[in-house]
Amino acid sequence: MGVSTPRLRQADSWADICLYVCVAASAWLVYPQVILSFQIPLLVAIAAQLILFITSLIKFQKFPSFHTYTAKIWGLTLLVATIALFGYGYSQTLWLAIALCMINSLEEIIMTLILPTWQCDVLSIFHAISLRQTLLLSELIKPTTDSQIIRD
C-alpha cells in the first residue's frame, strides 16, 4: 500500500521496545522471583541489545530498525513467554525468548557492520549481504557530474 516509511518503521521499533519494557516491569511487580532466577541470562540479553543499539548509533547515528525474520520469531517467543508467565505462572519459556534475543542481536550487529548505510526492513543477514553488494555497486557506477569532470 506504500504507507510504510523509515520513520514509521522506527516508530514501530520504539513501540516494541516500550511494550516489552512495560511487560518486564509488570513481570517484576507480579513475579519478582522469576526475574531474579533469570537475572544473569536476562542481563546478558539486555547487554546484547545495548551492544546492537550502540553499534548502530556509532555507525549510523540511528537506532536499528531491521525487522528481521529472527526479530519476528523472537517477538512470537516473547508473546508465548508472556502468556505462559502471566496466564499460567510458567517461566521456562523465557529460555527460548532469551535464546532468540541473543540470536537476533548477533544477526543485527553483524548486519549493522555489513551495511554501508542505515536501512530499515532488511529481513536477514543474507538480505543485508545482497543489499550491501547492490549499494556498493550503485556507488561505483554512479554517473559523474559536470563539476567532477571539470575538476578532473
Tens of pLDDT, residue by residue over 9-23, are 899 889 999 999 999
Question: Cα separations (Å) of 50 from 28, 31, 93, 96?
Answer: 20, 24, 23, 19
Binned at pLDDT 50, 70 and 90, residue 142 comes out as confident
- Grid cell, residue 92, equals 521456562
- pLDDT (mean) for 113-118: 96
- pLDDT (mean) for 62-87: 96
Residues in contact with 70: Cβ distance below 8 Å, sequence separation at least 6, in sequence order: 100, 103, 104, 107, 108, 124
Q: Sign of dihedral through CA atoms 61, 103, 9, 19?
A: negative
Largest CA distance in the chain: 72
- pLDDT (mean) for 24-34: 96
How is the chain split among helix, strand and coil, in percent rounded to 5? 75, 0, 20
Mean pLDDT of the chain: 92
Model pLDDT, residue 151? 53
